[in-house]
Amino acid sequence: MNVTLRQLRIFTGVYRTRSITRAARELGITQSAASLLIQQLEAQLGVKLFDRSTRSVQPTLAADEAFAAAERMLSDAQGLSRRMRDLAQARAGRVVFLASAGTASALLPMVLAKFRTGHPDIEIDMRDVAADDLVPRLSTTDAEFAIGSVEGEFADMTIETLTSGRLSAIGRRTADFAARRSLTWDELVQLPTIAMRSETRIRMQIDQALSAQGKRLDPTYEVTLINTALAMTAQGLGLAILPATMLPADQFPTLIARPLVRPALTRPVSLLQRQGRTLSPAAQAFVATARMVLAGRTAPASG
């Protein structure tokens, strides 16, 4: 057999209290059990640890040395337990995940803010990545999950839609615009529009869908960053063509979104995970927060 932490625990107790009886009481075992544990430890280490008589328990020199080592191991053990408990309760740890550029800039900041209030000590490593890279990167890096607009099926991946936004026209809350329930893509032709540059995934989805119907978006402005589009819209330069989910209400209180129809397009925001890999508790907590925050933003099934 081998040295056990149990033996070390009683050993340090005896060492400190200079009494088997007292140490046993501390640990909640009987004196005889403690006596036996000490004898075992001595046998396993091959060293006398205490000179004991019925009246006194004197540590030997070897015990002095052993004590230091034992204390260290026990505090390591306690540290390990505590650390693991913190991890389990998502009170500590680190969340490494991938986010597509659009999601990272427009949608995740509010998730991050919410998460931080509940889990202030968890480190977050959000890596923004081109949407096409989400799946390959997730397979190869240490990221635990990915959030972004991904459609289709992938081997060894599970996909869960967190929210999906209808492609919308976003504009200032004018009486005119607010009165509309929706707009058609055709109507946009007559209006100044701000769309994402055609290299972006959002724009590609739009162009594909429209061209299938023989239509075409011809924006007044083309930008790279979602925030730029929104800021320009807030300035009255035109209507931003974006998924409704991408509009942070608190940041742009003057703007409202109206769905675009004919065709109605939706853009999902999905959570990707590697199959058969549990998320760390911290990641689970983060995902839960994301679900909660984003669920409130899902567009109704139709409208």
Partner DNA sequence: ATCAATTCATGAGATTTCTCTATGAATGTC
Partner DNA sequence: GACATTCATAGAGAAATCTCATGAATTGAT
Comparing CB distances to a copy of itself, the nearer of 202 and 271 is 271
Comparing CB distances to a copy of itself, the nearer of 211 and 278 is 278
C-beta of 15: minimal distance to DNA in Å? 12
Restricted to residues 220-279, the positions that interact with a copy of itself (CB under 8 A) are: 276-278
C-beta of 34: minimal distance to DNA in Å? 8
> Which of 43, 51, 113, 211 is close enough to bind a copy of itself by CB under 8 A?
51
Told to check if 36 binds DNA by CB under 7 A, we report yes
How many residues touch a copy of itself (CB under 8 A)? 42
CA angle 168, 173, 174 (to 5 degrees): 115
Terminal C-alpha separation, the chain? 72
Q: Which of a copy of itself, DNA, none lies near 216, with the C-beta cut-off 5 to 8 A by kind? A: none
H helices of the chain, where?
5-17, 20-27, 31-45, 61-88, 101-106, 108-118, 134-140, 175-179, 185-188, 201-212, 226-234, 281-295
180 within 8 A of 258, measured Cβ to Cβ: yes
In angstroms, the CA 105 to CA 224 distance is 12
In whole angstroms, how far apart are CA 17 and each of 37, 50, 70? 16, 12, 15
Told to check if 38 binds DNA by CB under 7 A, we report yes
Told to check if 52 binds DNA by CB under 7 A, we report yes
Comparing CB distances to DNA, the nearer of 53 and 190 is 53
Contacting residues toward DNA, per CB under 7 A: 1, 4, 6, 19-21, 28-33, 35-40, 52-55, 57
